[in-house]
Amino acid sequence: MQQPVRIAPSILSADFADLGAEVRRIDAVGADYIHVDVMDGHFVPNITIGPAVVKALRPHTAKPFDVHLMIAPVDSFLEAFAAAGADILSVHPESGPHLHRTVQTIRALGKKAGVVLNPATPLSVLDYVIEDLDLVLVMSVNPGFGGQSFIDSQLRKIEAIRTLIDATGKTIDLEVDGGIDMVTAPRAIAAGADVLVAGTATFRGGPDAYAANIARLRGGGAA
């Protein structure tokens, strides 16, 4: 069943020179999860941050760290991110040879497990693992950068995954990531999403705007 909408600001769009304060600011104005984009310059054409930064940010908030791993091979880094303070570890099926094993490893580390579908990744990757997941993440842009435009075809993927999740009878977050703004947020929610990642749309306008930005996204785009 679709849960109340939660907002996961992506700190990829935060001020990297002041990340601790940025995390405290979005926590204070209602961020539900802190979305951390981890990129290796190999699986995606960009490099961001590693476990040391997650560990450094951990004391700045009690909100869950929603760690989106865009690294390959991913398996050898799961333990480091778990130890650093990640709460949810989400992996792309293309980032390792044995998705089921990777999901089980995350669960054995005591963390929530997510699987991420790129725009061209078919739903069938969820066969045989969905019941073991805490979260399914639909990429509504190709991964690697913030500030891209929402890919409309992903709305029907969100609808289809909502049906799959509801058929499990379990509580599994359906998160959407990429190009979420005041226009696309209500469309993603109407399609069945209940967690919205927003980088550009959260941090736009500077710290004084974060509260209103998050409130509008949560309200489905209403002012």
- Binding residue numbers for a divalent metal cation: 35, 37, 68, 177
Nearer to Co ion, 37 or 173 (CB): 37
Q: Where is 65: in which H helix or E strand?
A: strand 65-70
- The entry of ligand 5SP, Co ion, none near residue 180 (CB within 5 to 8 angstroms by kind) is ligand 5SP
Write out the binding residues for Co ion, residues 27-46 only, by CB under 5 A: 37
Q: Give the angle subtended at the CA of 82 by the CAs of 42 and 26, to the nearest 5°.
A: 85
Catalytic hit among 32, 66, 177, 181: 177
Cα–Cα distances in angstroms (integers) from residue 148 to residues 69, 142, 145, 151, 191, in the given order = 18, 8, 7, 9, 20
Q: Give the angle subtended at the CA of 35 by the CAs of 33 and 37, to the nearest 5°.
A: 165
Binding residue for ligand 5SP, selected from 51, 64, 143, 192, defined by CB under 6 A: 143
* Residue 37 a catalytic site member: yes
Report yes or no: 47 and 144 within 8 Å, Cβ to Cβ.
no
Report yes or no: 50 and 38 within 8 Å, Cβ to Cβ.
yes
Span from 21-29, 123-131, 143-151, 214-222 in contact with ligand 5SP (CB under 6 A) = 143-151
- Using rule CB under 5 A, residue 68 touches Co ion: yes
- Using rule CB under 6 A, residue 35 touches ligand 5SP: yes
Residue 201 CB, shortest distance to Co ion, in Å, is: 13
Place of tokens 């969905």: 130
Catalytic site positions: 37, 177
